[in-house]
Structure 1
């Protein structure tokens, strides 16, 4: 067995090919989840309206504090609403937002239903993407070496089989990236904003809002 040419290389390739379909299967539902989240967020007018209410409240506070009006704010600041309190320690900025919505547009208080995809914590996509990219690089790099004819034939068949799935994943991933870019532009977020962090913050905000709303019902 030790006399087999390129044994270590062949074992590495076999291990990679064994793990690749597992990573691809893990990756597909995560990409699909992100695409659904992006589509809901892009088309959710009620979420934008809630942000407008929040901006108005923030500018009201700024005016009373002698500060200039803000033109907007980062979505990452949404999770701070439940932490900002006034004299009444039980009344947060999130409660103030909910109060104004209930006074002006009560129906808007259920806006979280329009973002149902955010009811679960977003899956960690980045690690799985990196795995697949690394596997693909490994296969391409090590496939260039010399192998036994039979091994090379089997390896070629395996690569062709997985390449179809990889190409489909790549196209789906490109769609996700385009949708996410639209979100960043729409909400004025920097182009390098991590999607996992952003979606996690939105998930937390929606969770906090639902809880605050439930307390008032």
Structure 2
């Protein structure tokens, strides 16, 4: 039996829970209990209206949670070259400083603790990744939404608005690396100077060379070209082990060590008078001189172009700080230049002392020869000493 909605039915006033059943189609009712319903439907329907089912089974409005959506990526604008921007971003992540804190360092402004976080290598990287002229022009003319610039471009935009930003970075590299570079140059010049003095004043080394000359002249008798020598080029000192005895078991150096040990044992310790020769042999003098010349070149560059960094910003203390730095470093560079002159004179003296032309032999080559001679002589001396001990007759035990 089909039921129709009562004309008094009213539409639901609120959403109620559903009864999740499976409906029987009317054609299938037949003699089922459902087919017997209907006589009191209208009465029941009226009762149902007053059961407040809507209130009892009302659907509770679920709390609406704002769906967390991934932050919408801005349309990031990039002006710097990709590689430069990438490297700058890595540096910024490493420094953990804001772009404002970094630019304040170029103004010698902000807290001293923040400025100390930036060392010479950081300024060197900032200089390396700084915008070039074309990029600087694009940044200065940028009229878009600054918030859409990536972090590297944001920093670069702040940099190009600082007067003489590239010179400032070069100056800060100079300022923060100066003490270390000055110490390195001074140490290398001083060790060369000391080694030169030690070689020229070592009486024990002179005695050994006298022995070498006598032995060589004795062995060279009859050879017009090489006999009766009054001296020899020092490169022979590092080549003595190439001249072997007839049985190939020892070298000229072994014979020399044995003779010195036998006749002049007091000079076996000649290396004790040459303590700085090894360190001097490691000094690449052209590099040291180049570093010194670069210090002066950078100093002049900063001094001659410092006016470019002037700004109207009262908080900008860069120019004053660099003027003080230039005064201090100028005196230090002058002292290094004087040390270079005196070191060069000492080397010329020692080279000439050993019969060499300073213009024809490099410092490192010169000291390398003596360092190698010392090392080989000591090794041969130890081998001879060990050999002599094994040949000593054993005492008869009673």
Q: TM-score, normalised by structure 1?
A: 0.88
Counterpart of 2:245 in 1: which secondary structure?
A: coil
How far did 1:66 drift? 5.5
Question: Which residue matches 1:48?
Answer: 206
Question: Which residue matches 1:201?
Answer: 369
How far did 1:202 drift? 0.5
CA distance in 2, matches of 1:9, 1:16: 10
How far did 1:73 drift? 1.4
Question: Which residue matches 2:109?
Answer: none
CA distance in 1, matches of 2:192, 2:376: 21
How far did 1:76 drift? 2.1
CA distance in 2, matches of 1:50, 1:115: 14
1:20–1:132 CA contact under 8 A, matched in 2 = no
Please identify, of 115-124 and 27-36, the stretch whose mean Cα deviation from structure 2 is larger.
115-124
How far did 1:121 drift? 6.3
Question: Which residue matches 2:258?
Answer: 99
Q: TM-score, normalised by structure 2?
A: 0.50
Rg comparison, structure with higher value: 2
CA distance in 1, matches of 2:222, 2:257: 20
Question: Which residue matches 2:177?
Answer: 19
Give yes or no for the alignment of 1:176 onto 2:343: yes
How far did 1:71 drift? 2.7
Give yes or no for the alignment of 1:136 onto 2:296: yes
Q: Which runs of 5+ in 2 are unaligned?
A: 1-157, 311-316, 386-398
Q: 1:87 to 1:182 in 2, by over 3 A?
A: same
Please identify, of 42-51 and 121-130, the stretch whose mean Cα deviation from structure 2 is larger.
121-130
Question: Which residue matches 1:215?
Answer: 383
How far did 1:29 drift? 2.1
Please identify, of 79-88 and 111-120, the stretch whose mean Cα deviation from structure 2 is larger.
111-120
Please identify, of 150-159 and 42-51, the stretch whose mean Cα deviation from structure 2 is larger.
150-159
CA distance in 1, matches of 2:180, 2:260: 46
Give yes or no for the alignment of 1:160 onto 2:321: no
Q: Which runs of 5+ in 1 are unaligned?
A: none
How far did 1:212 drift? 1.2
Q: 1:123 to 1:66 in 2, by over 3 A?
A: closer
Counterpart of 2:241 in 1: which secondary structure?
A: coil
1:79–1:201 CA contact under 8 A, matched in 2 = yes
How far did 1:174 drift? 2.2
How far did 1:65 drift? 4.7
Give yes or no for the alignment of 1:115 onto 2:274: yes
